[in-house]
Amino acid sequence: MDLSLFVPELILLGAIAYLLCLTLSSRQIAGSALNIFLPGLGMILMVSTFFTLGHSGVLFSDTYRIDMISQGFKLVLALSFLLVAVLSCHRISIPRDREVEYGIFLSTSLLGMMMMTSAVDILTLYVSMELSSYSLYLLSALRRDQRAPEAGVKYLLFGAAASGVFLWGMSLLVGLSGTTSLAGIAAQAPALVAQPAFSLGLAFALFAFLFKLSAFPLHFWAPDVYESAATPVTSFIATASKAAAVAIFIRIFMATGLSAGLIWVLGILAFLSMTLGNAVALVQQDVKRLLAYSSIAQAGYLLLGLLSGTLEGYSSSFFYAFAYVLMNTAAFLVVIVVAESSRHDNPQISHFNGLAERSPFLALLLLLGLLSLAGIPPLAGFTGKWILFSAAMDQGHWFLVLWAVLNSVVSLFYYLTLVKHVYLKKPETAQPILLSTGTKIAAFLLLVSLVLLGVFPNAFITFTQQAILSGAF
Amino acid sequence: MGGRHRHSDRFLLPMTPPFPILSAILLCPVVGLLLVLLTPRKYETLIKLTALASALGTLVLSVVLLFIFKPSVPGFQLIEHMEWIKSYGIHYSNAVDGLNVSMILLTAIVIFCGILVSWSVTYRVKDFFANMLFLVSGVFGVFMTTNLFFFFLFYEIAVIPMYLLIVIWGSTNKEYAAMKLTLYLLLGSALMFAGFLYMYSLPDARTFDLIALKQNVRFTPEVQNILFLGLFIGFGVLAACFPFHVWSPDGHVAAPTAASMLHAGVLMKLGAFGILRVGVYLLPEGARHWADWVAVLALCNIVYGAMVATQQKDLKYIVGYSSVSHMGIVLLGIATMTTVGFNGAIFQMFAHGIMTALFFACVGFIYDGCHTRMLDELGGLSKQAPVISAFFIIAGLCGLGLPGMGSFVAELLVTIAAIGTYPAIGIISIVALLITAFYVLTAIQKAFYGPANPHHADFKDLDWFQFIPRAFLVACLIFFGIFPDIFINWVSLSTKTLLGIG
């Protein structure tokens, strides 16, 4: 057992221990220490994960697998954590005396997600999923005003139900195959896949992942939680959690394979997710709710790649997950800054009026982020959608692809509505928005990477394909 | 088969020209865009000069391209080829043939004049020129690429800046018009997208390269029929084909002058170009199958556009509906599926592009000076502003097909081809030209003759600087009207190849 492969997680564990000690110190010192500590942690995690990128191995009695899928997704997760950590200096609705806890739960949930990407045993998978979920339940309840308990409780109830169904489904899989290891299930899958109980178990197990991905029919929590959680927390849920869900989808599907019936079910869910997310987003006024419905629609697009069940399908889902982290964080960065400047952690569309005059740079970032979400070239979201839909089309899902591209047009309507407010309406105050250095750097890097990943995607596409090949059971 | 064989040789051994002139044309606006973005907001003149320099660069290079281009060589030439996304068969590859060489020239002419005409823009100068350059990069890209991925990418790049140009700098119900235009065009592009991906998924395809698709994939008749229908609707939206034209008059009216010029002059041609480049090139059987329907729709365009134009009071709406009518001539030329018809269609794309750019350049100037475009509120302008009036009248005469102007030859060719293939439609389209003459002459008479409106007493004529772009457009119109054989020489071999008789 080569523990050097586990270094990123060990660093994270150490940091969590340090943060626990920090709760003992004075709140004020701790709060300001956090602003430096969390981004620093994010950077160290990225670097350490980067160094494990080429390596592979199996740890802890074959329950924990290090390969390019896991390390690639861990890098994406660490990046997402870093961005949220940088943006956390704009937290306005986290209670002052709970700031260290905010740091702790953010880190534990990241630890859970990182472990999810490596889990190749049902036990490790369940433990890491619950670790990340419970941390997120607590995080979404960390808010100063009255909204807090609602979000936390809703999230918890839906999450607990989904995880119960997950366990039930997994018990069927384990019962049929007689092993808890995914590799063991993978070895027997070709013989079992024809059995209805196997498909049923798999479908139930998917509940938990669909919940994390906020896809239909487990999307109900998303709008309320997005709206009620503090905005940096929403941003973390909307990006990192989605990427981890994609990783686990890929892992499970690669182990079990997809039966025709399951592809049908997933296709219907993708169809409904896209339709419902985009239709409801059209009438939203609260920008966080709008992004929540948009993320339901995006979950539908992602399912299209996942249900293709091919190398191209999985690798393009990986690509899109990364692009999604970038573009969604870009959108949330602007939401967070606008929320801070308007002293209102639930910015409405009207709060974005005249943003282009108050900060042309932020307006441009929001424009590119939203256009990328809508799949407009030459941005990352466009290239991601192109390869995602190519993969689905290749498997003959022409109707879903046609529906998805039509949906992208619908989504453009509400994205452009927001853009219109940014560029066209007069601002209520002419006061320019000033950005802190960290946010400015993050915003600039997001802007550049959205364009670069869109225009020069070849290297990353090749990487994702190698990663999927390396993850075969 | 001979032509096909030469094709394949060239595809296997892409001739990389000593100087990648097509990429250079594409890079001119891109570099201009980056420089404009890097220039601080307050140096407005510097921004304008940068934009002008990059537009001039494209113009010079596209004229050079005409001299390098060999009309006698069949198939694509000056091929530039670079791997982009290997595993999906996506290459960055550009090439010219008779279809696009004139379109590249048209784009360069219109953007050059468009930048000059926009010299009077004062609101958010930097953003305006950045959007213009971004838009025109997309247009150049669509015209020169031979890969469907880049075709789509550049196509959408050309659409999105249009939204911002209309919404920020536009007039007359601009928010409605901009959203309508964008959603319509993207709906069309969604169909294209699905169609392209479907081609990719066909047996033996796994590539987005046009030439490779043509060589490797056998499109069965059913597939051709379905795909051509989808692509035709997708491209037809942009080409303002009836009944998908409804975005275009509103969009033209709401857009600022230079954006209208580019939009009616060049962007609408992207749709017709796409039908030829992708639709007819890859799916000739499908094109033949639907040709009758296309001809009927084209006739609707011609007649309906002209009829509606007669009822308009706003000069810009008249020009907008005349564009719908004239694009019908392009579509009719395509529907004939003959060399003469194709030549006429491409010539009409070129001539109409320049003519309509001139129209909008004139209307924009009149609107800036008089603050109205309503025919009833104008009148007698030819006395106080003879030069701009003359320009508008030249554009109008070109629009009604006066011999000696570019449009005349184009319309003649299309009509000859149409009478050969669809006699009834051809004859009705000739009658429709009378309607065109009626509304153009009525508009000219109301706006430029008759009693002068005292409100516009201080309306000043063009200064020498504003004279240049409009005079340049007129010169192009007359030049190709007098020497149409130069133009026909560029295109005729390629249209023959396209029809498989080369």
Please tell me whether the peptide bond between A217 and the residue prior to it is cis, using omega within 30 degrees of 0: yes
- Copy the structure tokens of residue B18: 């000593």
Q: Is the pLDDT of residue A360 over 90?
A: no
- CB contact under 8 Å between B85 and A458, yes or no, is yes
A244 band by pLDDT with thresholds 50, 70 and 90: very high
Tokens of A354: 């005249």
State which residue of chain A sits closest to B195, comparing Cα positions.
A402
> Which tokens is A118 given?
């490596």
Confidence at B5, pLDDT banded by 50, 70, 90: very low
Write out the two tokens for B111.
Answer: 């953007």
Q: Rounded to whole angstroms, how far apart are CA atoms A429 and A432?
A: 8
DSSP state of B296: H
Residues of A within an 8 Å Cβ radius of B: 312, 371, 376-378, 382-383, 386-387, 389-390, 393-394, 396, 398, 401-402, 405-406, 408-409, 412-413, 416, 420, 423-424, 457-458, 461-462, 465
Partner-chain contact B182 A394, CB within 8 Å? no
Does the pLDDT at position B9 exceed 50?
A: no
Residues of A in contact with B158 (CB under 8 A): none
Flag if B167 and A420 touch (Cβ within 8 Å). yes
Is the C-alpha dihedral spanning A85, A91, A97, A98 positive or negative? negative
Contact between B86 and A423 using a beta-carbon 8 Å cutoff = no
Q: Which of A218-227, A362-371, A427-436, B23-32 has the lowest mean pLDDT?
A: A427-436
Banded pLDDT at B11 (limits 50, 70, 90):
very low
For residue A114, give the nearest of A104, A103, A102, A129 by alpha carbon.
A129
Which residue in A has a C-alpha nearest to residue B190's C-alpha? A405
Domain positions in chain A: 3-470
The answer to whether the Cβ–Cβ distance between B194 and A462 falls below 8 Å is no
pLDDT tens digits, residue range A130-140? 999 999 998 88
Q: Which amino acid is at B366?
A: I
Binary contact (A409, B160; C-beta < 8 A): no
Question: Which residues on A lie below 8 Å from B88 (Cβ)?
Answer: 312, 386-387, 390, 461
Q: A458–B163: do the CB atoms touch at under 8 Å?
A: no
Could you tell me which residues come within 8 angstroms of residue A277 by beta carbon, excluding any fewer than 6 positions away?
A216, A219, A293, A294, A295, A296, A297, A298, A299, A300
Which pLDDT score, from 0 to 100, does residue B12 have?
44
Q: Do B87 and A461 touch (CB under 8 A)?
A: yes
Instruction: Please give the pLDDT value at position A150.
Output: 79
In which band, very low, low, confident or very high, does the pLDDT at B17 lie, cut at 50, 70 and 90? low
Chain B neighbors of A361, CB-CB under 8 A: none
What is the value of pTM for the model shown? Answer: 0.91
Write down the mean pLDDT value for chain A.
89
Chain B residues inside the 8 Å CB shell of A377: 152-154, 156-157
What pLDDT digit, counting tens, does each position of B146-183 carry?
A: 999 999 999 999 888 898 899 888 887 888 989 899 89
As for the ipTM of the complex, it is 0.88
Q: pLDDT per residue over B402-439, tens digit each? A: 888 888 889 999 999 999 999 999 999 888 888 999 99
pLDDT higher than 90, residue B81: no
**Alpha-carbon separation of residue A153 from A136, A139, A157, A224, A228 (angstroms):** 11, 11, 6, 11, 11
Q: What is the mean predicted confidence (pLDDT) over A214-236?
A: 89
Q: How far is A305 from chain B (nearest CA, A)?
A: 14
| pLDDT tens digits, one per residue of A8-66 | 899 999 999 998 888 887 777 777 788 888 899 999 999 999 988 888 888 888 888 88
**pLDDT score at A372:** 94
pLDDT for the residue A1: 63
Supply A280's token pair. 């409801």
Per-residue pLDDT band for B2 (boundaries 50, 70, 90) equals very low
Q: Give residue B1's pLDDT.
A: 34
Query: How far does A284 lie from chain B, in Å, by closest CA?
Result: 18
DSSP 3-state assignment of B149? helix
Q: Closest Cα partner for B155 from B141, B175, B176, B168?
A: B141
Residue B245 and residue B305 in contact, taking contact as beta carbons nearer than 8 Å: yes
**Structure confidence by residue, pLDDT tens digits, B295-310:** 999 999 999 999 999 9
Would you state the pLDDT for residue A55?
Answer: 81
Contact B183 A412 (CB under 8 A): yes
Is pLDDT larger for residue B442 or for residue A146? B442
Indicate which of A318, A399, A411, A458 best probes the interface with B, i.e. most B CBs within 10 Å of its own CB.
Answer: A458
**Rounded distance, CA B350 to CA A218, Å?**
54
Burial A271-301 (b: 16+ CB within 10 A, else e): bbbbbbbbebbeebebbbbbbbbbbbbbbbb
What Rg value do the Cα atoms of chain A yield, rounded?
21
Q: How close does chain B come to A397, measured CA to CA in Å? A: 10
Question: What is the separation of C-alpha B465 from the centre of its chain, rounded to a whole number of angstroms?
Answer: 25
Reported confidence tier of residue B16, pLDDT bands at 50, 70, 90: low
In contact, A376 and B156? CB cutoff 8 Å: yes
Q: Are strands B90-96 and B77-85 parallel, antiparallel or unpaired?
A: antiparallel
Task: State the nearest Cα–Cα gap between A247 and chain B, in angstroms.
Answer: 22
> What's the distance, Cα to Cα, between the start and end of chain B in Å?
9
Rounded distance, CA A167 to CA A184, Å?
18
Neighbouring C-beta atoms of residue A265, cutoff 10 Å: 16
Nearest residue on chain B to A402, judged by CA atoms? B194
* Contact between B182 and A393 using a beta-carbon 8 Å cutoff: no
What local confidence, expressed as pLDDT, does residue A141 receive? 85
Is residue A452 scored above 80 in pLDDT?
A: yes
**Residues in contact with B60: Cβ distance below 8 Å, sequence separation at least 6, in sequence order:** none
The nearest alpha carbon in chain A to B207 belongs to A390
Which among B84, B87, B194 has the least Cβ separation from residue A401?
B194
Decide: residue A127, CB within 10 A, 0-12 exposed, 13-18 middle, 19+ buried: middle
Give the angle B314-B318-B319 at the CA atoms, nearest 5°: 120
CB A30 within 8 A of CB A23: yes
Q: By percentage, how much of chain B surpasses pLDDT 90? A: 47
Judge whether residue A358 has pLDDT over 50: yes
Please list the alpha-helical segments (H only) found in B371-405: 381-384, 386-399
Q: What percent of chain B has pLDDT over 70?
A: 96
Per-residue confidence (pLDDT) for residue A14, from 0 to 100: 93
pLDDT at A148 over 90: no
With cut-offs at 50, 70 and 90, classify the pLDDT of residue A207.
confident
In the block, residue with structure tokens 């996304």: B85
* Type of residue numbered B221: P
pLDDT at B123 over 70: yes
- Give how far A390 is from chain B: nearest CA, Å: 6
Instruction: Please write the tens of the pLDDT for every residue from A338-356.
Output: 988 888 888 888 888 888 8
Report the percent of chain A where pLDDT is more than 90. 46
B109 is written with which tokens? 């002419």
**CB–CB of B333/B406 below 8 Å?**
no
SS3 at position B238: helix
More confident residue, B341 or A94: B341
Residue B247: both structure tokens together: 């975005």
pLDDT of residue A81: 94
Reported for A347-351, long-range contacts at CB under 8 A and 24+ positions apart, including other chains, are A347/A286, A347/A287, A347/A288, A348/A285, A348/A286, A348/A287, A349/A285, A349/A286, A349/A287, A349/A290, A349/A417, A349/A418, A349/A421, A350/A285, A350/A421, A350/A425, A351/A287
CB contact under 8 Å between B152 and A377, yes or no, is yes
Q: Chain B closest CA to A76's CA: distance in Å?
A: 21
Do B156 and A405 lie within an 8 Å CB cutoff?
no
Residue A57 phi, psi (nearest 5): 175, 170
CA distance B294 to chain A (A): 23
Inspect the interface and report whether the beta carbons of B87 and A412 lie closer than 8 Å: no
3-state secondary structure chain A: CCHHHHHHHHHHHHHHHHHHHHCCCCHHHHHHHHHHHHHHHHHHHHHHHHHCCCCCEEECCCCEEECHHHHHHHHHHHHHHHHHHHHHHHCCCCCHHHHHHHHHHHHHHHHHHHHHHHECEHHHHHHHHHHHHHHHHHHHHCCCCCCHHHHHHHHHHHHHHHHHHHHHHHHHHHHHHCCCEHHHHHHHHHHHCCCHHHHHHHHHHHHHHHHHHCCCCCCCHHHHHHHHCCHHHHHHHHHHHHHHHHHHHHHHHHHHCCCHHHHHHHHHHHHHHHHHHHHHHCCCCEHHHHHHHHHHHHHHHHHHHHHHCCHHHHHHHHHHHHHHHHHHHHHHHHHHHHHHHHCCCCCEHHHHCCHHHHCHHHHHHHHHHHHHHHCCCCCHHHHHHHHHHHHHHHCCCHHHHHHHHHHHHHHHHHHHHHHHHHHHCCCCCCCCCCCCHHHHHHHHHHHHHHHHHHHCCHHHHHHHHHHHHHCCC
Q: How far is B168 from chain A (nearest CA, A)?
A: 6
